[in-house]
Amino acid sequence: FTQTGNASFYSNKFQGKKMANGQPYRKRKLTAAHNTLPFGTKVKVKNQENGRTVKVKITDRGPHSRNRILDLSLAAARRLDMVQSGVVPVTIKVIRRP
């Protein structure tokens, strides 16, 4: 499974709030929200603007917006150097099923 689209990241205000998998969001963990992949799926995300990559675990559902395929934790967004941009084009690839 590979997919191309835009990724955004979680606002800080979600820190500690419950995600769709029942766990609290932790901004320092490498996690992401995706709309269909099972919780626990490991995904490799590539920022198409700078080539940086990060591996994240799917722990939440979302986003709802057009062309948006992933909402990343703050830590993951930092790895991709996309915090200033806010939204960047990414490619995601499943590297481990749960």
Contacts with a second copy, residue ranges (CB under 8 A): 8-11, 14, 17, 20, 33, 35, 60-68, 71, 86
**Minimal distance in Å, beta carbon 69 to a second copy?**
10
Q: Which CB sits closer to a second copy, 56 or 63?
A: 63
Q: Which CB sits closer to a second copy, 20 or 95?
A: 20
**Minimal distance in Å, beta carbon 97 to a second copy?**
21
Q: Which CB sits closer to a second copy, 41 or 60?
A: 60
**Minimal distance in Å, beta carbon 11 to a second copy?**
4
**Minimal distance in Å, beta carbon 66 to a second copy?**
4
What b/e readout covers 57-79, taking b as 16+ CB neighbours within 10 angstroms?
Answer: bbbbbbbeeeebbbbbbbbbbbb
Q: How far apart are CA 1 and CA 40, in angstroms?
A: 15
Which residues touch 92 (CB under 8 Å, ≥6 apart)?
2, 3, 4, 34, 43, 44, 45, 46, 69, 70
